[in-house]
Amino acid sequence: MIYRVDVSITAPVRDTEVTDRVVDAVRNIFPEAAIERGPGEIRAETHSLDHFSDLLHRQAILDSARGEFFGDRQGEVLSFDLKKQAAFESVVNFAVGDPSELGEIHVRVRVHEPSVEEYVDHVAPQTEDGAPVTDDP
């Protein structure tokens, strides 16, 4: 299956932060992203969530990820926020509730092909007893 997605990533850089550390946090989760540094902000774009998906599998947080993906879905667009400090440690931690004083990494995924549901199943498959459910025998 061919997946066609556009992923936009933004993260504020506060005066108390080192820009390179924010870049590292984004790169740890999205290593294939093209990153641009701007005044007070990091912007990045990628067309793959493969490494992100690997992290979700390793951390066994597929169900949580699915909830976040569908929780703020608008048509073909999924949006979610990640905690910067966790990302710096190569850990996916969805930001929920009160925003961090340092701000979060905001991720926006526009799915062109296939459907949003099929793409989410690719990135974070449904689970049964904590294990991904697959069609493989």
Q: How far apart are CA 67 and CA 21, in angstroms?
A: 28
Reply yes or no on whether the pLDDT at 137 is more than 50.
no
pTM greater than 0.85 (yes/no): yes
- Contacts of residue 68, defined as CB under 8 A and 6 or more positions apart, other chains included, come to 80, 94, 96
**DSSP assigned state of 76:** T
Q: Structural domains in the chain?
A: 4-110 (3.30.1440.10)
In the sheet with 104-113, reading across from the earlier edge strand, the strands are 34-38, 41-46, 4-12, 104-113, 77-83
Task: Give the pLDDT score at 38.
Answer: 92
CB burial of 30-40 (b: ≥16 within 10 Å; e: otherwise) equals beebebeeeee
In this predicted model, what pLDDT tens digit does every residue of 30-88 receive, in sequence order? 999 999 999 999 999 999 999 999 999 999 999 999 999 999 899 999 999 999 999 99
In this predicted model, what pLDDT tens digit does every residue of 3-17 receive, in sequence order? 899 999 999 999 999
